[in-house]
């Protein structure tokens, strides 16, 4: 870490942080849990539309999602909040007005371009021998493009609330998205039009539920196209971030083309990938992203106050927490991947291709959960210090490496190649971020990992042994039984061993479970 002045005495500056941070983390994790569980229901309903519709929709919804990371979550969380936190109250409001106005204008332009250029965009996403209905995908791209504006406005609301550490409304907004989508998907016909409409209604709900909180806390901005001096700082932070976002979207485009390659995979593979992605993001969102999101304003404030000892202490605490949580989740997902994927088989008609794709991809991705947990925290520490260039360079190179690994491994390992590639790139990125961090507390992290990883392996073996005698993943109900029994036994084993070895983080987990 560069340019570190003398900090306040350790323990004095962050005296109020543990309780506040723990409360915020609980709120975000509760919201994430509700969001991911309702997201599973939403994905179940999408899969029930049949692989032709679900493949086309999942590909079409990638188009606004390719841009949302840059113009919505990425811009706000990684670029806007550190600058916003460094300003006084009135300047914060002025920046929010200027930033929201600029973001709305950009989104309107891109939405129009996306609708007009839908055929070209779909041609970019699909392989030369597609296993997806091209005309249907073009139609659905045009229907879902307004989602970009809705999610950007919802993300402005989320960013403003999170910056002032009001996490409740923003954390539960994604639940409103899922519930609104579920209502539309349940009540209206199973057609492409209503499938896309459910997506848009959900995006609107995610925005609307946050408006009362913005008004209550006096944070609701009046968008304007007038400039603000600090807007330049935000844009400078976004500029290098565009590099990593571009690399990530290059990866996403490559994955879309790979999944739609009829010479390599059969129809239904895209839906299987979506099922695996839903399960992986549930674990990652709950156990990794939620703590990182709750801690990011604290990291930003410590960096703004130049309290580097407290900053480094918080880094260690955050890494210990997310690795303690993600290690057993990784081990259990490796074993239980087929059972988790079978949850999406509501009507018992999931194709063998969709099931095999989902199981194989999730099985490999489970290995990537731990290294990407480390990356998620470390990247936030760079963004909080406005060292965006270092973070995005590592991320961009990492995604390029991942694409190269996909091209090398997927033709041979098939579905497992996705996860193995992600794991290798995640490990390499973690090493690079630790080197660039500056005085990184590697010893403390390695000692911690040397304790929790073996415990996770034991938990995984217990879970695997139970799956040998419990029902196989042949349907929804048998899978739920095995998940409940084997998963609970594995998790119980992990927590029991952690208590026996007096791993400090277990006390915090048990307190959260009691709450």
What tokens appear for 187 in the block? 């009540």
Instruction: State the pLDDT at residue 4.
Output: 35
Range of weakest confidence among 148-152, 426-430, 458-462: 148-152
Instruction: State the pLDDT at residue 17.
Output: 40
d(CA 95, CA 220): 12
Q: How confident is the model at residue 244 (pLDDT cuts 50, 70, 90)?
A: low
* pLDDT at 33 exceeding the cut of 80: no
pTM exceeds 0.95 = no
Instruction: State the pLDDT at residue 242.
Output: 64
* pLDDT at 70 exceeding the cut of 50: yes
CA 311 from centroid of its chain's CA atoms: 24
**What percent of the chain is helix, strand and coil (3-state, nearest 5)?**
80, 0, 20
More confident residue, 82 or 461: 461
Instruction: State the pLDDT at residue 18.
Output: 41
How many CB atoms sit inside 10 A of residue 129's CB? 10
- Residue where the block lists tokens 């997902």: 333
d(CA 329, CA 302): 30
Mean pLDDT, residues 37-60 taken together:
87
Q: How confident is the model at residue 6 (pLDDT cuts 50, 70, 90)?
A: very low
Q: How many CA atoms lie within 13 A of 47 on its CB side?
A: 30
Mind listing the pLDDT tens digit for each residue in 270-285?
899 989 988 998 888 8
Instruction: State the pLDDT at residue 302.
Output: 85
What tokens appear for 228 in the block? 């603000």
Instruction: State the pLDDT at residue 3.
Output: 36
Instruction: State the pLDDT at residue 72.
Output: 61
Range of weakest confidence among 3-12, 184-193, 367-376: 3-12
Mean pLDDT, residues 5-21 taken together:
38
Cβ 63 vs Cβ 242: under 8 Å: no
Instruction: State the pLDDT at residue 508.
Output: 64
d(CA 317, CA 311): 10
Cβ 93 vs Cβ 230: under 8 Å: no
Q: How confident is the model at residue 74 (pLDDT cuts 50, 70, 90)?
A: low
Closest CA to 389 of 492, 228, 243: 243
Q: How confident is the model at residue 25 (pLDDT cuts 50, 70, 90)?
A: low
Q: How confident is the model at residue 73 (pLDDT cuts 50, 70, 90)?
A: low
DSSP 389-404: HHHHHHHHHHHHHHHH
As a whole-number percent, the residues of the chain with pLDDT over 90 amount to 28
Range of weakest confidence among 71-80, 220-229, 450-459: 71-80
Instruction: State the pLDDT at residue 47.
Output: 85
Cβ 142 vs Cβ 1: under 8 Å: no
Q: How confident is the model at residue 370 (pLDDT cuts 50, 70, 90)?
A: very high
Task: Report the SS3 class of residue 502.
Answer: coil
d(CA 135, CA 466): 47
Instruction: State the pLDDT at residue 12.
Output: 34
Range of weakest confidence among 176-180, 254-258, 505-509: 505-509
Mind listing the pLDDT tens digit for each residue in 171-226?
788 889 999 999 998 887 778 888 888 889 998 999 999 999 888 888 888 888 88
* pLDDT at 478 exceeding the cut of 50: yes
Mind listing the pLDDT tens digit for each residue in 115-127?
999 999 899 888 8
What's the whole-number average pLDDT of the chain? 83
Instruction: State the pLDDT at residue 511.
Output: 64
Mind listing the pLDDT tens digit for each residue in 285-333?
888 887 887 788 788 888 888 888 888 888 988 999 899 999 999 999 9
Length of the chain: 515
As a whole-number percent, the residues of the chain with pLDDT over 70 amount to 89
More confident residue, 387 or 427: 427
Q: How confident is the model at residue 457 (pLDDT cuts 50, 70, 90)?
A: very high
Instruction: State the pLDDT at residue 168.
Output: 77
């Amino acid at each position: 870490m560069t340019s570190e002045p003398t900090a306040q005495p350790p323990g004095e500056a962050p005296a109020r942080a543990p309780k506040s941070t723990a409360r915020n983390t609980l709120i975000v994790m509760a919201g994430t849990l509700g969001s991911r569980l309702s997201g599973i229901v939403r994905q179940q309903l999408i899969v029930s539309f049949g692989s032709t519709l679900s493949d086309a929709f999942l590909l079409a919804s990638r188009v606004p999602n390719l841009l949302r990371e840059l113009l919505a979550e990425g811009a706000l969380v990684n670029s806007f909040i550190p600058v916003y936190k460094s300003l006084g109250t009135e300047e914060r409001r002025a920046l929010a007005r200027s930033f929201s106005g600029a973001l709305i204008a950009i989104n309107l332009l891109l939405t129009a371009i996306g609708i007009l250029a839908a055929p070209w965009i779909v041609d970019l996403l699909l392989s030369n021998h597609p296993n997806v209905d091209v005309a249907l995908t073009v139609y659905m791209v045009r229907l879902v493009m307004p989602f970009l504006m809705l999610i950007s406005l919802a993300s402005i609301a989320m960013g403003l609330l999170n910056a002032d550490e009001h996490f409740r409304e923003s954390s539960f907004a994604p639940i409103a998205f899922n519930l609104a989508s579920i209502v539309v998907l349940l009540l209206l016909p199973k057609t492409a039009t209503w499938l896309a409409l459910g997506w848009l209604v959900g995006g609107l709900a995610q925005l609307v539920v946050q408006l009362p909180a913005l008004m209550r806390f006096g944070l609701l901005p009046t968008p304007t196209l007038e400039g603000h001096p600090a807007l330049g700082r935000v844009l400078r932070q976004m500029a290098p971030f565009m590099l990593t976002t571009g690399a990530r979207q290059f990866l996403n485009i490559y994955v879309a083309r790979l999944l739609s390659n009829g010479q390599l995979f059969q129809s239904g593979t895209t839906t299987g990938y979506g099922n695996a992605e839903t399960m992986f993001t549930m674990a990652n969102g709950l156990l990794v992203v939620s703590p990182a999101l709750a801690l990011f304003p604290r990291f930003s404030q410590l960096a703004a106050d130049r309290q580097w000892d407290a900053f480094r202490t918080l880094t260690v605490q955050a890494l210990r927490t997310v690795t303690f949580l993600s290690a057993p989740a990784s081990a259990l997902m490796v074993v239980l991947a087929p059972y988790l994927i079978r949850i999406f088989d509501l009507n018992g008609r999931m194709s063998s291709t969709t099931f095999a794709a989902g199981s194989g991809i999730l099985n490999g991705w489970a290995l990537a959960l731990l290294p990407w947990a480390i990356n998620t925290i470390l990247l936030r520490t760079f963004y909080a210090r406005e060292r965006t260039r270092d973070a995005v360079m590592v991320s961009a190179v990492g995604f390029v490496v991942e694409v190269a690994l996909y091209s090398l491994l997927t033709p041979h390992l098939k579905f497992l190649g996705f996860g193995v590639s992600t794991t290798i790139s995640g490990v390499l990125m973690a090493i690079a971020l630790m080197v660039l961090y500056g005085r990184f507390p590697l010893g403390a992290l390695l000692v911690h990992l040397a304790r929790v990883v073996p415990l996770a392996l034991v938990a995984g073996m217990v879970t695997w042994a139970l799956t040998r005698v419990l029902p196989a993943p042949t349907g929804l109900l048998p899978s739920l039984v095995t998940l409940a029994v084997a998963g609970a036994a594995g998790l119980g084993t992990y927590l029991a061993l952690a208590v026996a070895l007096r791993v400090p983080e277990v006390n915090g987990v048990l307190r959260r479970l009691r709450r």
